[in-house]
Amino acid sequence: MWLFLAFLLVPLIEIGLFIQVGGLIGLFPTLAIVVITAVIGTWLVRSQGLRAMGDLQGSFSRLEDPTTPLAHGAMILLAGALLLTPGFFTDAVGFALLTPAFRKMVLNYISRRVTVTRFEMGGRPGPRPGPQPDMRQNPQHSSQGDVIDGEFTELGQDKKPNHPGSGWTKH
């Protein structure tokens, strides 16, 4: 229902704003404003998107929860789509989403309504809670975690693969 209302109301708002602004300043200045906001918006989305990507990569490298950088990146992406859509209302919402304070407010609003039941990301360096295995008594247990048992068959030198290879293996 909300999506239907958005698809109905947003074009009506945009048409009304185009008529009002075009009546006040004329056709060509109105079109120039639409093009200029698209160009400025594209530049801002690119610069903030690169910053958000750096924040996301930093959270992954520090093994932190990536929820916030992902949410900011998604809102910047939405802002880009809104800024490339011709119209004054969509431009206003797009520029608002490019403001970090507004994105934080939206994220806080959404996070109050969403409950994450479990989030787990990679092991932390250092000892794990609970009993630790004794490596001297169990030589098959590696210090990196579980041992995976497998079988393999060595291929003779005359056996060649039936594909050109990816460059990651020697053939």
Q: pLDDT of 25-76, one tens digit each?
A: 999 999 999 999 999 999 999 999 999 999 999 998 898 888 899 999 999 9
Q: Which long-range contacts (CB under 8 A, 24 or more apart) does 3-10 make?
A: 10/87, 10/89, 10/90
User: In which band, very low, low, confident or very high, does the pLDDT at 145 lie, cut at 50, 70 and 90?
Assistant: low
Does the global pTM surpass 0.75?
A: no
Amino acid at 162: N
Residue 144 is encoded by which pair of tokens? 């990196």
More confident site: 123 or 43:
43
